[in-house]
Structure 1
């Protein structure tokens, strides 16, 4: 199926908008369900959907036990750890905009890791690191005494940040190219096997099966999991994945605007200043280096 050039160019922007709604869905769904039970059901439904996709597309399954293990590890970090930390932090009172700001520092932590392993990190990236953490500190410090941030939900949000960073680095280091639906089957299965026992052990609150819960779950599975993964797959095939990286720093302000419009989460001067600093810092980190053109002899 051929796609119009306009739609191909808009894919990165649509993907970032979808990614931003993940934090909004967490805020929207939390009154209806404890976080781990919601996520366990989400992983189970996503597993069924990706399984059906793999069957229809006749996708090849990963070859060898090592690739299955690597996929399982990334599933635990990038799904169970990341989403579990985000949803639990929101459940405990942290706003969607602040959670997005915290986990939006993932490219900055990746740059620090590259530097610690002897990689090349430009001076502007170190400047971005300082600005990113400075902006985050400004927002968090301002919210500490106002009921939104406490030690517990801050630790959970930082757990989400660490999980998505570790999972991304692990995936880049160990995973071989494989079919999207089958890879997601393995990752969601691993996340389910970790999340479900914890949900049954730690959460006593029942799920409220109402229209809000069904809407949040449908959006999580169909739009965020299936839609987001499909878009990313198409962009990688067309070489547009780098455009997504360059736009990811827009996720926190986009989420903050959505949370303000939908839930009345306040946007103060401190929030605006800190978000702008962090976004600019992450932009410096993810911006590709300038290429030097050679003159023709």
Structure 2
């Protein structure tokens, strides 16, 4: 992807596609058990992504790099979505899950030092303000989810955040097309195994299941993660992570429009605070000016370069 096109169109496209995943997830989990939804999503998307990577002749990771790619994929795909989709099954709303996921920039910032990336004071302030906004909005929905639902949201948050850090640390140069294919494909057997162990193979509403699956496979598993992995390869982690502050607001609006979830005043206030945090977090500290030494006095320089005259006795 062209760098200028990525700069202009990349962030809004990522925010829209990522936000829509919560809406599609709610619809899908309402039609079938969460592990079956994930198994179908990962299985279909994995095959399509492998075919795409072969067609474009992507360079596949090998050896230890392949192992690291698998670990990053399981964290970002299986752990994240396994926890979030199960939370949806426990009646946690799409808005709450996206708001919890909005804390990912804070988690990533904590570990940014492990990648050799510096975080300025203004960025730390932005992360704090963004986290406060997320907390306000989650507080507004506290009566809609159980303790189990909250724990699942935290597990999903850690899966995304640590998976992103792990990928940036151990597989920074892997072709994003091959990496995305590996991430999704290796997660499918785990989702299938969990679906088999829980006997979760009944589809209550085939039409809604099929519609949500088409969107999740093409837009979420393929489009969003190909774009995310490309950004992670070309930009630093803190720059990419700050876009996640906008996702809760977009998700809340989409949930209001598509699945009729209400927008309450405290939620709106929390989302506004979160957006302020995103703006602050996007600001970089000015680069320090190179140190300069004070010029020497002309007389001193002249004195130093003149040869000593012999002393007459």
- In the alignment, the residues of structure 1 paired with residue 114 and residue 69 of structure 2 have an alpha-carbon distance, to the nearest angstrom, of 25
Give 2:73's aligned residue.
75
Give 2:49's aligned residue.
50
Q: Give the aligned length.
A: 292
Please report the TM-score for the alignment, with normalisation by the length of structure 2.
Answer: 0.81
Please report the TM-score for the alignment, with normalisation by the length of structure 1.
Answer: 0.85
Give 2:20's aligned residue.
21
Q: Residues 122, 56 of structure 1: CA spacing in aligned structure 2 closer, same or farther, 3 A cutoff? A: closer
- The structure with higher relative contact order (CA 8 Å, sep 6+) is 1
Q: Residues 11, 165 of structure 1: CA spacing in aligned structure 2 closer, same or farther, 3 A cutoff? A: closer
Give 1:100's aligned residue.
98
| SS of equivalent residue, structure 1 residue 168 | helix
How far apart are 1:209 and its partner, in Å?
Answer: 5.6
Deviation by residue 1:213-259 (Cα, 9 ceiling, x = unmatched):
11110111111122224444666788799875554321110110000
Give 2:300's aligned residue.
none
Of the three residues 249, 262, 265, the one matched with 1:269 is 265
Give the stretch that moved more between structures: 272-281 or 84-93. 272-281
Give 1:284's aligned residue.
280
How far apart are 1:179 and its partner, in Å?
Answer: 2.6
Give 1:84's aligned residue.
82
- In the alignment, the residues of structure 2 paired with residue 181 and residue 116 of structure 1 have an alpha-carbon distance, to the nearest angstrom, of 25
- In the alignment, the residues of structure 2 paired with residue 280 and residue 72 of structure 1 have an alpha-carbon distance, to the nearest angstrom, of 35
How far apart are 1:68 and its partner, in Å?
Answer: 1.5
- In the alignment, the residues of structure 1 paired with residue 240 and residue 124 of structure 2 have an alpha-carbon distance, to the nearest angstrom, of 21
- In the alignment, the residues of structure 2 paired with residue 4 and residue 140 of structure 1 have an alpha-carbon distance, to the nearest angstrom, of 36
Give 2:252's aligned residue.
256
- In the alignment, the residues of structure 2 paired with residue 288 and residue 170 of structure 1 have an alpha-carbon distance, to the nearest angstrom, of 23
- In the alignment, the residues of structure 1 paired with residue 120 and residue 6 of structure 2 have an alpha-carbon distance, to the nearest angstrom, of 34
Maintained 8 Å contact 2:68/2:170: yes
How far apart are 1:37 and its partner, in Å?
Answer: 1.0
Q: Residues 235, 206 of structure 1: CA spacing in aligned structure 2 closer, same or farther, 3 A cutoff? A: same
Give 1:211's aligned residue.
207
Q: Which protein shows a greater Rg?
A: 2
- Which runs of 5 or more residues in structure 1 are unaligned? none
How far apart are 1:212 and its partner, in Å?
Answer: 1.3
Deviation by residue 1:171-208 (Cα, 9 ceiling, x = unmatched):
11111422333322322232123222112113546123
Give the stretch that moved more between structures: 28-37 or 123-132. 123-132
- In the alignment, the residues of structure 2 paired with residue 215 and residue 162 of structure 1 have an alpha-carbon distance, to the nearest angstrom, of 29
Give 1:136's aligned residue.
134
Q: Residues 56, 88 of structure 1: CA spacing in aligned structure 2 closer, same or farther, 3 A cutoff? A: same
- Superposition CA RMSD, Å: 3.1
